[in-house]
Amino acid sequence: MTDDAKISIRGLRKNFTTRFGRVDALGGLDLEVREGELCVLVGSSGCGKSTLLRILAGLETATDGTVEIRRGRDRRALTAMVFQEPSALPWLTVRSNVAYGLRMQGVDSDRRDRVTAQYIEKVGLTRFARAYPYQLSGGMKQRVSVARAFASDPEILLMDEPFGALDELTRLVLQDELLRLFEETRKTILFVTHSIDEALTLGDRVVVMSPAPGRILSTITVPFPRPRRVIELRKDPEYGRHVARIWELLGIDRERHAASPA
Amino acid sequence: MPHRPPKALSFLSPFLILAVWEGLARAHLIDVRFFPAPSAILVAGWGAAQTGELWSNLRISLARIGVGFALGAVPGIALGIVMGLIPWVRLTCMPIVSAIYPIPKSAILPLIMLIFGIGELAKWVFIAIGVFFPVLINSMVGVLTIDQIYLDVGRNYGARGPNFLFTIALPGALPVIFAGIKLGFGLALILVVIAEIVASRAGLGFFIWNAWQIFDVEKLYTGLIVIGILGYLSSEAIDAAERVVVPWRPRG
């Protein structure tokens, strides 16, 4: 583990046994994510990206290999995950949803209320703090999940295609909001998407994965300075060149690229 | 959305039937020995209310339902949730539940009277057994049908033990548990009447059975109507409770 590695993954394998036989989801994956880095994993569907996040989140166990998340000095939750599907708990109001992680950690109610109100405001849901999820749009529900993850202030944040089910417009607005939140808090984030645009917009680094069994094909350092704005990025000619490059990495024979230095 | 018919319709239709019935009875087009005029039933009911006979029997039945329902529903919810959460408990208990549940509850009454006598305890146990099963099964199914994503959220955010139970499993299962409570309450109403017909000198079941024995048809109808009203009010009360306890569900 290098000095500033927050997440360190070594030789991670995951096999599932299904009715149709064995599926190798992850085939010996190595990855390091630095403290305060927003690292984006891209790959086609079924390349094991979600499985990787679920292992880090403690929702699955690995077949082989190690995963290490370096703890800070203070006690806090290890991970908080934002899922692709709406995951705001239907029986809790927006406020209680955002407070959920802190409540489970036993944070006292004064601090919990303060932090919760702060993140509800950051995602623009103050007016809806007492609403239940069924009263919210899809984009607002995802804002609740994002706010909940940030508010619980874990060692690392995991985001599994959090904007994947949203319409294009809402998606861009939420990307902008996430950029702002990340640039303010500098939490370590591992973000999974199959959108190359999203990867380049958000990431400090884009990690391209092979189809299952998932391994790393290539890593691209994203050169755009922060703070970023979604629309500004799209105007940059560099942006188009990077999109094309990742397309090539994903599209062309994977054996050749897996062998070439990243 | 199509134009919604006025809600008053659902209030008017019963009165329409009563009016037709009254007319037919007064014209002697139906046999009033079997179908006495609603006005005659009303007079009989008023009489039973005046003497206190109706209220004392109603009170006794309500107490039996209340105690029996609580004795059945509380363990039903508790065990149902545990069975939903813990596979080995589910696998152990399910065959027993499946074997006992389909036995008609009325068939168990003689055994219950044999064991518990013919006092209040026997009625409570009888009602409790009837309520227990639908509540148990619904509670278990309620937990088992919670969306996987919410279980994942609970686990990811570190909800364990009682935290998981009270922030994920119980609220997630509540809508289905309420369906079980409604079923259970309907059964409690049936069972209390059965028990009182067979083995009681008091209660609404006795009130009706007694009316049949002395061939007081108006009184018999009074008993039926009171039970009907009781069923309606209790179902409204349970719905109201559900709106308070489950405020997060969209309602039409």
Q: Which of A80, A132, A135 comes nearest B157 by C-beta?
A: A80
Which residues in chain A (63-82) have CB-CB distances under 8 A to chain B? Answer: 77, 79-81
Tokens of A231: 């629309």
Percent of chain A's residues with pLDDT above 70 = 95
Q: How far is CA A241 from the centre of its chain?
A: 24
Residues 6+ apart with CB under 8 A from B195: B64, B109, B122, B123, B126, B127, B203, B205
CA distance A40 to chain B (A): 20
* A201/A171 Cα distance (integer angstroms): 12
Residue A216, classed as helix, strand or coil, is: strand
Is B152 in contact with A92 (Cβ distance < 8 A)? no
Q: Which of A58, A87, A135 comes nearest B153 by C-beta?
A: A87
* A207/A192 Cα distance (integer angstroms): 10
Bond into A227 cis (ω within 30): yes
Tokens of B219: 């009184």
Q: What is the pTM of this model?
A: 0.87
Residues 6+ apart with CB under 8 A from B187: B105, B127, B130, B131, B134
Is B174 in contact with A91 (Cβ distance < 8 A)? yes
On whether the CB atoms of residues B173 and B30 are closer than 8 A, the answer is no
pLDDT of residue A23: 84
Taking the Cβ of residue A39 and every Cβ of chain B, the question of whether any pair is shorter than 8 Å is answered with no
* A226/A229 Cα distance (integer angstroms): 8
CA distance A262 to chain B (A): 33
pLDDT of residue A262: 42
Q: Is pLDDT at A6 greater than 50 in this prediction?
A: yes
Taking the Cβ of residue A101 and every Cβ of chain B, the question of whether any pair is shorter than 8 Å is answered with yes
Calculate the average pLDDT of chain A. 90
pLDDT of residue A110: 95
Is A59 in contact with B156 (Cβ distance < 8 A)? yes
Phi, psi of A4 (to 5 degrees): -100, 20
On whether the CB atoms of residues B149 and A83 are closer than 8 A, the answer is yes
Per-residue pLDDT of chain B (252 residues; tens, 9 = 90+): 567 777 777 788 888 999 999 999 999 999 988 999 999 999 999 999 999 999 999 999 999 999 999 999 999 999 999 999 999 999 999 999 999 999 999 999 999 999 999 899 999 999 999 999 999 999 999 999 999 999 999 999 999 999 999 999 999 999 999 999 999 999 999 999 999 999 888 999 999 999 999 999 999 999 999 999 999 999 999 999 999 999 998 875
Tokens of B246: 């489950």
> Per-residue confidence at A205, pLDDT binned at 50, 70, 90?
very high
In chain A, which residues have their Cβ closer than 8 Å to the Cβ of B158?
Answer: 77, 101, 104-105
Element (H, E) at A67: strand A64-69
Residue A7, classed as helix, strand or coil, is: strand
Question: What is the per-residue pLDDT across A59-97, written as a single tens digit (0 to 9) for each?
Answer: 999 999 999 999 988 888 999 999 999 999 999 999 999
Q: What ipTM was predicted for this assembly?
A: 0.90
On whether the CB atoms of residues B145 and B179 are closer than 8 A, the answer is no
Taking the Cβ of residue A83 and every Cβ of chain B, the question of whether any pair is shorter than 8 Å is answered with yes
> Per-residue confidence at A257, pLDDT binned at 50, 70, 90?
very low
Q: Which of B149, B158, B246 comes nearest A104 by C-beta?
A: B158
Within 10 angstroms of residue B245's Cβ, the number of other Cβ atoms is 13
Tokens of A252: 């062309």
Q: How far is CA A47 from CA A11, A17, A27, B67, B192, in A?
A: 16, 16, 10, 57, 61
Is A134 in contact with B249 (Cβ distance < 8 A)? yes
Domains in chain B: ranges and CATH:
71-203+225-245 (1.10.3720.10)
Question: What is the per-residue pLDDT across A107-166, written as a single tens digit (0 to 9) for each?
Answer: 999 999 999 999 999 999 999 999 999 999 999 999 999 999 999 999 999 999 999 999
CA angle B118, B123, B127 (to 5 degrees): 155
